[in-house]
Amino acid sequence: MLKRFTLITLILAAFTVTHAQNKIKPNRDTTELKPVIIKGYLSDQPVISVPASVSVLNAAQLRIQPDNSFVNALNTVPGVRTEERSPGSYRLSIRGSLLRSPFGVRDVKIYFDDIPLTDAGGNSYLNAIDIAAIQKVEILKGPDGSLFGANSGGVVILSPLNRYNDSTYISAGINGGSYGLFHEKAAVQLKTTNYLLNINQSFQTYHGYRQNSDTHRNYLQLADSWNYSGKNTLKALGIYSDLAYQTPGGLNLAQYTVNPRLARQPTATLPGAIQQRIGITTKMYLGGLTNEYHFNDHIRNVLAVFGNHVDFANPFITNYEQRSENTYGFRTYFELTGDKKPNLNWKVDLGFEWQQTNSHIANYGNKKGVKDTTQTVDYIHTNQHFVFARYAADVYKRLHIEAAVSLNDYGYDFKNLYPLNQNNFTNRNFSAQLMPRLALSYQFINALAWRASVSRGYSSPTTAEVRPTDNIVNTSLQAQYGWNYETGFRLRNSDETFMLDASVYYYRLNNAIVRRLNANETEHYINAGGTNQLGTEASLYYWIIRPNRYNFIRGLQLNESFTYSHFRFRDYMVTNANYSGNRLTGVPKNVFVSSLQIRFPESIALFVQHTFTSKIPLNDASTIYAPKYNLLQSRVSYQPTIGRKIRFEIFAAADNLLNQKYSLGNDLNAVGNRYYNAAPLRNYSVGMNFMY
């Protein structure tokens, strides 16, 4: 399959470069395609010249995927693995493993526009967000702490506004499907000369494929932008999310084989998931203001102030945890831009980000989903801040150079309220860390750009790792860090109908944080050696027949993505076991995603996507694997013309058409060999969308 992919890519690349060099002008009956622009590196930049591995999912790409979950859309990006062990329970990794993340999102920094969604304790409530309200996703792959603080995985930026749709409109949509799926959404956008208000509301429920997997979410999102003077803008952003979902728990191989729809079963010593009514509720309130002010044509400042509150509850097999978390902070940077010259354009950025999260964490006994006797109560105050600087220059419009560095500080204070009733906080500060990044790209011709970079990653332990479910604050846990070396190229044609992006990287991670399970199934975290992560990624999009208005095929687009991960443990010792040289747990070696979008007359469109995932090691010893699987999904839509201002769409979709039995979210190194969380078999959905 790899040889076939490579052959197709090379043939298409050769054809496209030839076509570009011939400078054939596009037919005037075809639709003009916009170049891909990213904003993640502080200002707008064409993706062709960015000296980093970045991927962009725009509004059109997000809408063609199911909008009930982030999983399908994010998994089209090479190097990204998103899992959903049960509906609403996300796990996300970029070029790495999920060994640190039995649930939740860690080791990846996520921003909602200019506001960190990741709190000072390192946790990101991505499952609180409705993807249907997101207009664009930018993914910056590899450690990028020089501008975004502590992370060794990468950065994800969620945009609530569509820069290409700044008109006034009202929209609504509804879809439903197998296993009790129902998703309703509505949005209104008001646009005047200097003002834009966008409000999104949604409700989603899903009963799930397995026992004890019901989920509900109410969601409200606001984005308000005011252009108060020239280029100067003030934005207000807000989110309210009320999410509740049940968690069925893992199955062993025998249970998974006989009946994958079962919830975790009781044993002679422990009750099961249904008996304990295990699940999670998360209420999140997030808000912030962002001001962009231009002092003149050369100096601008961006300032964001933000805060959020989270109420979290998790009745589990062995206990009942409640958390109340308050986060507040700000992020600001100044940018100085030099005069534009034929041989040199440059800019300098200098900024600062500060966050504090105050957590009240209490654990109780769990008596069939009801809080029982108090076990322990702790206060943890986590502080994370960093100063960053960047210099970027374009030399003769060919060579793009970036040099950036940040100085990161992290620490936490804690005290036990029960049973010790401590009066004073204990302080744990980590030494300040420099995180440099040096990158460059060179555009040989308009169609081809080569890039290379070296950067340092650093990821401090999260609050959930410092104070895990064994209820012991682990002050000995250290941060993980490493160096990433990368090179790659982008190849495109003149009319932006073709883009090939390929890269190879090597990330040497030290002091790796890994999760270990105790005999009573509580967890703790340790630093256990390191990893050698060698990987290759490639993505291709190609409008074989570019969008047009008169042919029978109104557009034919091919998308391909490929991920190869040669990840190995290094110096990895756990008690008396040596796992050095074993494959990194939870990481498939190969992932292929291929999709085809066909547009027909009468606004009929067909989308088909195939995903191949190779086998996945489930334990550190590499003795047990989840088998490889193939997923096939499709979507057909009809958008009849109703006047000039009304857009209406009816669609039907099918997922897992091959009826594959697979686990989308394995419990790694599971006690009792309960590795498997079965994903739904073949399932269907229908829906409609309306915009005026």
Structure tokens at 313: 């509850």
Residue type, 429: N
Across 288-308, b (16+ Cβ under 10 Å) vs e yields bbbbbbeeeeeebebbbebbb
Residue type, 41: Y
- Alpha-carbon gap, residue 42 to 332, rounded angstroms: 11
- Alpha-carbon gap, residue 638 to 651, rounded angstroms: 6
Closest CA to 453 of 408, 491, 501, 488: 488
> How many beta carbons lie within 10 A of that of residue 39, not counting itself?
16
Q: Are 88 and 215 in contact (CB under 8 A)?
A: yes
- Alpha-carbon gap, residue 625 to 614, rounded angstroms: 10
> Bridge-partner residues for 633, per DSSP?
609
> How many beta carbons lie within 10 A of that of residue 119, not counting itself?
24
- Alpha-carbon gap, residue 449 to 403, rounded angstroms: 18
**So what's the pLDDT on residue 648?**
92
User: Percent of the chain beyond pLDDT 90?
Assistant: 76
Q: How confident is the model at residue 11 (pLDDT cuts 50, 70, 90)?
A: very low
- Alpha-carbon gap, residue 685 to 692, rounded angstroms: 24
Q: Going edge to edge, which strands form the sheet with 115-116?
A: 54-57, 136-141, 154-159, 109-112, 115-116
Listed by start position, the domains of the chain span 37-691
Angle at 306 between CA 303 and CA 312, to 5 degrees: 160
3-class SS letters over 47-66 = HHHCCCCEEEECHHHHHHCC
Q: CA 650 from chain center: how many Å?
A: 28
| 220 HSE (CA, 13 A, CB side) | 8
At residue 21, does pLDDT exceed 50? no
Q: Is the four-CA dihedral 54, 59, 61, 62 of positive or negative sign?
A: positive
Rg of the Cα atoms in the chain? 25
Q: How confident is the model at residue 18 (pLDDT cuts 50, 70, 90)?
A: very low
> Bridge-partner residues for 42, per DSSP?
none
Task: Report how far apart the first and last C-alpha atoms of the chain are (Å, whole number).
Answer: 45
Secondary structure of residue 386 in the 3-state scheme: strand
Q: Are 87 and 215 in contact (CB under 8 A)?
A: yes
Closest CA to 636 of 593, 602, 592, 682: 602
At residue 85, does pLDDT exceed 90? no
**So what's the pLDDT on residue 4?**
43
Question: pLDDT of 402-460, one tens digit each?
Answer: 999 999 999 999 999 999 999 999 999 999 999 999 999 999 998 999 999 999 989 89
- Alpha-carbon gap, residue 569 to 620, rounded angstroms: 9
Secondary structure of residue 342 in the 3-state scheme: coil
CATH topology for the 37-691 domain: Maltoporin; Chain A (2.40.170)
**So what's the pLDDT on residue 30?**
55
Question: pLDDT of 276-291, one tens digit each?
Answer: 999 999 999 999 999 9
Q: How confident is the model at residue 2 (pLDDT cuts 50, 70, 90)?
A: very low
- Alpha-carbon gap, residue 143 to 507, rounded angstroms: 9
Backbone angles phi, psi at 466, to 5 degrees: -65, -40
Secondary structure of residue 276 in the 3-state scheme: helix
Question: Which residues does 627 contact at the CB level (< 8 Å), separation at least 6?
Answer: 615, 662
Secondary structure of residue 601 in the 3-state scheme: helix
Question: pLDDT of 530-570, one tens digit each?
Answer: 999 999 999 999 999 999 988 999 999 999 999 999 999 99
Residue with tokens 């509505």: 186
Backbone angles phi, psi at 160, to 5 degrees: -85, -10
Closest CA to 354 of 119, 139, 154: 119
Secondary structure of residue 102 in the 3-state scheme: coil
**Whole-model pTM?**
0.93
Question: Which residues does 258 contact at the CB level (< 8 Å), separation at least 6?
Answer: none
Residue type, 163: R
- Indicate the pairing of strand 109-112 with strand 154-159: parallel
Question: pLDDT of 594-619, one tens digit each?
Answer: 999 999 998 899 999 999 999 999 99
Q: Are 605 and 596 in contact (CB under 8 A)?
A: no
- Alpha-carbon gap, residue 426 to 206, rounded angstroms: 44
Tell me the mean pLDDT in the region 240-252.
96
- Alpha-carbon gap, residue 595 to 388, rounded angstroms: 39
Burial class of 278 by CB neighbour count within 10 A (0 to 12, 13 to 18, 19+)? buried
Q: Are 73 and 131 in contact (CB under 8 A)?
A: yes
Structure tokens at 271: 């009750």
Q: Are 331 and 339 in contact (CB under 8 A)?
A: no
- To the nearest whole number, what is the mean pLDDT of the chain? 90
- Alpha-carbon gap, residue 102 to 91, rounded angstroms: 8
Please report, for residues 128, 243, 452, the alpha-carbon distance to residue 117 in angstroms, rounded to integers and kept in the order given: 10, 16, 29
Q: How confident is the model at residue 23 (pLDDT cuts 50, 70, 90)?
A: very low
Per-residue DSSP letter, 676: B
Please report, for residues 86, 107, 188, 411, the alpha-carbon distance to residue 356 in angstroms, rounded to integers and kept in the order given: 30, 17, 34, 10
Residue type, 435: M
Closest CA to 357 of 390, 324, 319, 312: 324
- Alpha-carbon gap, residue 633 to 655, rounded angstroms: 4
> Bridge-partner residues for 492, per DSSP?
499
Please report, for residues 287, 508, 581, 597, 642, the alpha-carbon distance to residue 571 in angstroms, rounded to integers and kept in the order given: 44, 12, 8, 46, 65
Residue with tokens 């990204």: 80
At residue 118, does pLDDT exceed 50? yes
Structure tokens at 374: 């108090």
Question: pLDDT of 631-673, one tens digit each?
Answer: 999 999 999 878 788 889 999 999 999 999 999 889 999 988 9
pLDDT: which is higher, 575 or 428: 428
At residue 5, does pLDDT exceed 70? no
Q: How confident is the model at residue 268 (pLDDT cuts 50, 70, 90)?
A: confident
> How many beta carbons lie within 10 A of that of residue 552, not counting itself?
7
Closest CA to 485 of 442, 532, 529, 432: 532
**So what's the pLDDT on residue 555?**
94
> Bridge-partner residues for 174, per DSSP?
184, 688
Question: Which helix (H) or strand (E) element contains residue 357?
Answer: strand 344-367
Q: Are 455 and 144 in contact (CB under 8 A)?
A: yes
Angle at 507 between CA 504 and CA 512, to 5 degrees: 150
Residue with tokens 């606001």: 222
Closest CA to 509 of 543, 485, 542: 485
Q: What is the dihedral of CA 581, 583, 584, 585, to 10 degrees?
A: -130
